[in-house]
């Protein structure tokens, strides 16, 4: 049986069902109780489960994570909320040096069944620190699982799995999609390590996650009008990354585009393209492309639409992988890079 | 303009100028209104036990230092001089209580019952931790300064939520009091009235930096600004430390919330075996603190009680030597981890991606062996 829910409500349902199903689950975060969260994702949960299980905390991100670690020694499963992507950095040490490593440090004797929820991504017209995509910092760290969701169903199923997992999970929620609706079946709980092919196609593979999955699907529809078949993969888990699924797809299509809102440098696309090059080099018929945020700090939101991956930027990249005329065809890089390396970049 | 320092809890924060002491340097028992009621059961036998504990802790420390110099351990952070600051509180804890300490908490590890063979693996660089945390109720030792204070507060919050009769003690040094985590831990402990004891061993140095660089006021004053009662205690006086810890633990256990103890002590050795303290402090300072030795002070006290010191010393020596012998044997016979273990326990649920790397590494090792 399914119900129609916004992503915010789907996450709320996943939290409620987790609290309901396991009395060791508890929620901690800033403004998650009485207010119901700044996005209302935790709306009503404190009323239903009480202040002992839905805990409003002082404003100290390192302490939210650090005390959650202490609670896991007593077998609590804490779901910690970091209010915004750009507010996670004070907790970086506790996440990277403690949460990620305690299971390893203790030779498997300390389990870290901790879920860290982080609203991430842009396109919400906000001010600085409210639209970032910091997932790569965490994907780089062994011991953490880093997952995302693209639909209300994925959000529900992923969060349930994250809370049930004995591994620590960072769940990056695409806040720009919080209020989009979709069908949700509460029986579905998914694993935390497989990608999902959300559209099949023979010509080009687009790998996306979180908010860019929708953009990729729209690109697939637009390209279909021109007879181009795009396969869209929702990576879902960005660490560990399901390279197998992408490699299999690229073996069919020969072309790969990776898209995310985070900047390109040392990112999920860097990792995925490198991995595909290692394992499917002979199958590639064009250089892999990426459509990402630029290598700048997140810009003022008045111009964020120029910064974020868009349908048109994706279609432009599709043209490049197919050797068709595109925005860079006549581009002269010499002015900034020197003529000597002005070669294959403009195809 | 003068700055008004918040007044500490008058019931507890005595001794701001002169730390709370009940054993004088010459071993005479000084009356102390706050601490005495918590020492009524400490007779000659109990004091002897604390003495033997301290002798064993010191012997472990001295042996480990020697083993490092002899190449059996890669590193050792000595606690010489801090035996009372650890033994006093460790012996005040109940079996179910938890310890969240730093990397210098060897006294706690020993007295909580860590297997010394496994413990030595940390300092041989064979393992990142040296005991089963649930078994001895002590979290893995912590190298990131102050990070464990939050874990201790979290544990205490959880124990309170469960209605458990348990206390968390978190131990850290003077340098840690400057870290954000320790300050956040104080905020949280106060807000949630967590049953936690903050044990700050002020050993006067954070590697080379004197405590004056961390704070212009006694460290024991700081928690009072967070609304946490605080005591400044002679950290080289095992009885004072024992009594102060009992007060703090009892407050926590009976719903009184957090308490902070500053143990004023001194790290007579280097920060670690790679450190050179001659670059930052005078030998005269070390000598002055050596005169306040926590173990000799108890010997004098026991002698004043009329104890047969020859027998007490002999008994302590037998037990300390036995410990040292076992520790040395464990160090000398430990098996290093295998390369394959690098890949173990990264995740509770193994990852396909990581298992590929393990497979590749095995293949590489096999190929080298085949060539050899």
A23 in contact with B at a CB cutoff of 8 Å?
A: no
What percent of chain B stands above pLDDT 90? 94
- pLDDT 10s digits, A111-155: 999 999 999 999 999 999 999 999 999 999 999 999 999 999 999
CB atoms within 10 A of CB A142: 15
Position A199 scores a pLDDT of 98
Question: Do A17 and A186 meet the contact criterion of CB atoms below 8 Å apart?
Answer: yes
Question: Per the domain annotation, does B125 fall within a domain?
Answer: yes
Judge whether residue B3 has pLDDT over 80: no
Q: Categorize the per-residue pLDDT at A346 as very low, low, confident or very high, splitting at 50, 70 and 90.
A: very low
**Residue A208 phi, psi dihedral angles, 5° rounding:** -140, 170
**A268-280 vs A243-253: helix crossing angle, rounded to 10:** 60
- pLDDT 10s digits, A219-254: 999 999 999 999 999 999 999 999 999 999 999 999
Question: Per the domain annotation, does B3 fall within a domain?
Answer: no
Contacts of A63 in chain B (CB under 8 A): 150, 153, 181, 184-185, 187-188
**Residue B160 phi, psi dihedral angles, 5° rounding:** -65, -45
Arithmetic mean of pLDDT, A164-193: 96
Q: How far apart are CA A246 and CA A268, in angstroms?
A: 13
- pLDDT 10s digits, B215-247: 999 999 999 999 999 999 999 999 999 999 999
Q: Scanning every residue of chain A, which has its alpha carbon at the shortest distance from the alpha carbon of B98?
A: A73
Q: B166 with B220, same domain?
A: yes
Q: Which of B121, B130, B144, B151 to probe by mutation at the A interface, max A CB count within 10 Å?
A: B151
Instruction: Respond yes or no: is residue B151 known to be catalytic.
Output: no
Q: B310 with B360, same domain?
A: no
Contacts of A243 in chain B (CB under 8 A): 353
Beta-bridge mates of residue A119: A173
Q: What is the largest CA-CA distance in chain B?
A: 78
Answer yes or no: do A243 and B353 touch at CB < 8 A.
Answer: yes
Q: Scanning every residue of chain A, which has its alpha carbon at the shortest distance from the alpha carbon of B155?
A: A70
Q: Categorize the per-residue pLDDT at B4 as very low, low, confident or very high, splitting at 50, 70 and 90.
A: very low
A98 in contact with B at a CB cutoff of 8 Å?
A: yes
Closest by CA to A109, choosing from A121, A120, A117, A101, is A101
Q: How far apart are CA A293 and CA A307, in angstroms?
A: 6
Q: How far apart are CA B292 and CA B81, in angstroms?
A: 9
Structure tokens at A40: 């209302």
Answer yes or no: do B352 and A240 touch at CB < 8 A.
Answer: yes
Question: Per the domain annotation, does B2 fall within a domain?
Answer: no
Catalytic choice (B267, B268, B297, B328): B267
Cis preceding linkage at A240, omega within 30 = yes
Answer yes or no: do B180 and A62 touch at CB < 8 A.
Answer: yes
Question: Do B47 and B305 meet the contact criterion of CB atoms below 8 Å apart?
Answer: yes
Question: Per the domain annotation, does B5 fall within a domain?
Answer: no
**Residue B231 phi, psi dihedral angles, 5° rounding:** -125, 140
Closest by CA to B85, choosing from B165, B215, B189, B204, is B204
Judge whether residue B17 has pLDDT over 70: no
Q: Categorize the per-residue pLDDT at B2 as very low, low, confident or very high, splitting at 50, 70 and 90.
A: very low
Q: B352 with B284, same domain?
A: no
Q: Which residues of A are catalytic?
A: 130
Q: B259 with B361, same domain?
A: no
Judge whether residue B14 has pLDDT over 80: no
Question: Do A272 and A258 meet the contact criterion of CB atoms below 8 Å apart?
Answer: yes
Contact map slice: B 283-312 vs A, CB within 8 A: none
A32 in contact with B at a CB cutoff of 8 Å?
A: no
Contacts of A183 (CB under 8 A, 6+ apart): A2, A3, A4, A152, A153
Position B169 scores a pLDDT of 98
Q: How far apart are CA A68 and CA A54, in angstroms?
A: 13
Which DSSP string do the residues of A81-142 spell out, in sequence order?
E-SSGGG-GGGHHIIIIIITTHHHHTTT-S----EEEEEE---S---TTSS---HHHHHTST
**Residue A80 phi, psi dihedral angles, 5° rounding:** -100, 135
Q: B210 with B73, same domain?
A: yes
Q: B236 with B369, same domain?
A: no
**Residue where the block lists tokens 């393990």:** B358
B153 in contact with A at a CB cutoff of 8 Å?
A: yes
Contacts of B127 in chain A (CB under 8 A): 107
Q: B248 with B370, same domain?
A: no
Position B372 scores a pLDDT of 80
Q: Categorize the per-residue pLDDT at B267 as very low, low, confident or very high, splitting at 50, 70 and 90.
A: very high
Q: Scanning every residue of chain B, which has its alpha carbon at the shortest distance from the alpha carbon of A69?
A: B151
- pLDDT 10s digits, B112-157: 999 999 999 999 999 999 999 999 999 999 999 999 999 999 999 9
- pLDDT 10s digits, B162-217: 999 999 999 999 999 999 999 999 999 999 999 999 999 999 999 999 999 999 99
Contacts of B185 in chain A (CB under 8 A): 63, 66
Position A336 scores a pLDDT of 87
Q: How far apart are CA B272 and CA B65, in angstroms?
A: 9
Closest by CA to B188, choosing from B216, B163, B215, B168, is B168
Contact map slice: A 143-202 vs B, CB within 8 A: 143, 145, 165-167, 192-193
Q: What is the largest CA-CA distance in chain A?
A: 66
Position B15 scores a pLDDT of 55
Question: Do B38 and B31 meet the contact criterion of CB atoms below 8 Å apart?
Answer: no
Contacts of B145 in chain A (CB under 8 A): none
CATH number of the domain that B223 lies in?
A: 3.40.50.970
Question: Do A245 and A238 meet the contact criterion of CB atoms below 8 Å apart?
Answer: no
Question: Per the domain annotation, does B168 fall within a domain?
Answer: yes
Judge whether residue B5 has pLDDT over 90: no
Answer yes or no: do A107 and B127 touch at CB < 8 A.
Answer: yes
CA distance to partner chain A, nearest, from residue B33 (Å):
35
Strands A145-148, A237-239: pairing is: antiparallel
Arithmetic mean of pLDDT, A158-165: 98
**Residue where the block lists tokens 């999609």:** A177
Beta-bridge mates of residue A241: A238
Q: Categorize the per-residue pLDDT at A37 as very low, low, confident or very high, splitting at 50, 70 and 90.
A: very high
Global ipTM: 0.94
Position A337 scores a pLDDT of 74
Residue B365 structural domain: 340-372
Answer yes or no: do A69 and B150 touch at CB < 8 A.
Answer: yes
Arithmetic mean of pLDDT, A205-214: 98
Total of domains in chain B: 2
Q: How far apart are CA B220 and CA B63, in angstroms?
A: 33
CB atoms within 10 A of CB A21: 11
Contacts of A109 in chain B (CB under 8 A): 129, 132-134
Burial code (b: 16+ CB inside 10 Å, e: under 16) for A206-223 equals bbbbbbbbbbbbebbebb
Q: How far apart are CA B25 and CA B136, in angstroms?
A: 34
Judge whether residue B11 has pLDDT over 60: no
Position B10 scores a pLDDT of 47
DSSP state of A330: T
A346/B265: higher pLDDT: B265
Q: How far apart are CA A17 and CA A106, in angstroms?
A: 31
Q: B314 with B360, same domain?
A: no
Position A1 scores a pLDDT of 87
Question: Per the domain annotation, does B4 fall within a domain?
Answer: no
Q: B304 with B159, same domain?
A: yes
What percent of chain A stands above pLDDT 70? 97
Q: B207 with B285, same domain?
A: yes
Mean pLDDT value across chain B: 94
Q: B264 with B364, same domain?
A: no
Structure tokens at B324: 């040292």
Question: Per the domain annotation, does B322 fall within a domain?
Answer: yes
Contacts of A93 (CB under 8 A, 6+ apart): A62, B144, B147, B181
Q: B185 with B227, same domain?
A: yes
Question: Per the domain annotation, does B370 fall within a domain?
Answer: yes
- pLDDT 10s digits, B52-104: 999 999 999 999 999 999 999 999 999 999 999 999 999 999 999 999 999 99
Handedness of CA A53, A58, A61, A62 (dihedral sign): negative
Judge whether residue B13 has pLDDT over 90: no
């Amino acid at each position: 049986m399914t119900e129609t829910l916004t992503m915010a409500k789907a996450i709320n349902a996943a939290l409620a069902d987790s609290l309901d199903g396991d009395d060791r689950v508890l929620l901690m975060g800033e403004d998650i109780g009485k207010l119901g969260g700044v996005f209302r994702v935790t709306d009503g949960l404190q009323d239903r489960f009480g202040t002992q299980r839905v805990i409003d905390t002082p404003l100290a991100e390192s302490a939210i994570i650090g005390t959650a670690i202490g609670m896991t020694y007593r077998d609590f499963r804490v779901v910690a909320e970091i209010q915004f992507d750009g507010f996670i950095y004070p907790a970086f040490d506790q996440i990277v040096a403690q949460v990620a490593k305690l299971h390893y440090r203790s030779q498997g004797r300390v389990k870290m069944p901790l879920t860290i929820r982080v609203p991430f991504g842009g396109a919400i017209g906000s001010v600085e620190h409210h639209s970032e995509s910091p997932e790569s910092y965490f994907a780089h760290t062994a011991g953490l699982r880093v997952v995302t969701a693209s639909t209300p169903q994925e959000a529900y199923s992923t969060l349930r799995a994250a809370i049930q997992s004995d591994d620590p999970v960072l769940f990056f929620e695409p806040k720009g999609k919080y209020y989009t609706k979709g069908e949700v079946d509460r029986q579905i709980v998914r694993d935390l390590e497989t990608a999902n092919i959300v559209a099949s196609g023979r010509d080009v593979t687009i790998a996306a996650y979180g908010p860019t999955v929708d953009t990729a699907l729209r690109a697939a529809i637009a390209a279909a009008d021109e007879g181009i078949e795009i396969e869209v993969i929702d990576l879902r888990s960005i660490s560990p990354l399901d390279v197998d699924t992408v490699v299999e797809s690229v073996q069919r299509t020969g072309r790969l585009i990776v898209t995310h809102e985070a900047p390109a440098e040392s990112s999920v696309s860097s990792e995925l393209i490198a991995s595909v090059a290692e394992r499917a080099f002979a199958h590639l018929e064009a250089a892999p492309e990426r459509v990402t945020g630029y290598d700048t700090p997140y810009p003022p939101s008045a111009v964020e639409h120029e910064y974020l991956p868009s349908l048109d930027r994706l279609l432009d990249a599709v043209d490049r992988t197919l050797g068709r005329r595109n925005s860079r065809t006549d581009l002269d890089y010499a002015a900034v890079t020197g003529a000597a390396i002005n070669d294959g970049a403009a195809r | 303009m003068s700055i008004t320092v918040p007044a500490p809890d008058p019931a507890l924060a005595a001794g701001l100028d002169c730390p709370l002491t009940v054993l004088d340097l010459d071993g005479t028992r000084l009356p102390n209104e706050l601490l005495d009621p918590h020492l009524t059961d400490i007779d000659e036998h109990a004091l002897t036990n604390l003495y033997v504990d301290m002798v064993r802790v010191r012997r472990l420390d001295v042996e480990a230092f020697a083993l490092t110099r002899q190449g059996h351990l890669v590193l050792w952070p000595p606690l010489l001089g801090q035996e009372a600051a650890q033994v006093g509180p460790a012996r005040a804890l109940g079996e179910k209580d938890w310890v969240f300490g730093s990397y210098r908490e060897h006294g706690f590890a020993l007295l909580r019952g860590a297997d010394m063979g496994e413990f030595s693996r940390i300092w041989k660089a064979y393992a990142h931790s040296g005991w089963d945390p649930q078994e001895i109720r002590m979290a893995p030792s912590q190298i990131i300064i102050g990070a464990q204070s939050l874990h201790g507060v979290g544990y205490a919050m959880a124990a309170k939520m469960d209605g458990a009769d348990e206390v968390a003690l978190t131990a850290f040094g003077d340098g840690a009091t400057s870290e954000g985590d320790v300050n956040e831990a104080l905020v949280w402990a106060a807000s949630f009235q967590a049953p936690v004891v903050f044990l700050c061993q002020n050993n006067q140095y954070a590697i080379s930096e004197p405590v004056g660089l961390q704070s212009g006021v006694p460290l024991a004053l700081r928690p009072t600004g967070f609304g946490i009662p605080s005591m400044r205690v002679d950290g080289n006086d095992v009885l004072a430390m024992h009594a102060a810890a009992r007060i703090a633990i009892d407050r926590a256990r009976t719903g009184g919330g957090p308490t902070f103890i500053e143990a004023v002590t001194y790290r007579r050795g280097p920060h670690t075996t790679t450190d050179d303290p001659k670059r930052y402090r005078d030998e005269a300072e070390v000598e002055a603190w050596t005169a306040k030795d926590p173990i000799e002070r108890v010997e004098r006290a026991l002698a004043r009680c009329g104890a047969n010191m020859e027998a007490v010393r002999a008994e302590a020596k037998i037990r300390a030597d036995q410990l040292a012998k076992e520790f040395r044997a464990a160090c000398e016979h430990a098996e290093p981890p295998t390369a394959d273990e690098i890949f173990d326990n990264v995740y509770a649920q193994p990852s396909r991606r990581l298992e590929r790397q393990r497979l590749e590494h095995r293949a590489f090792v096999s190929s080298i062996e085949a060539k050899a």
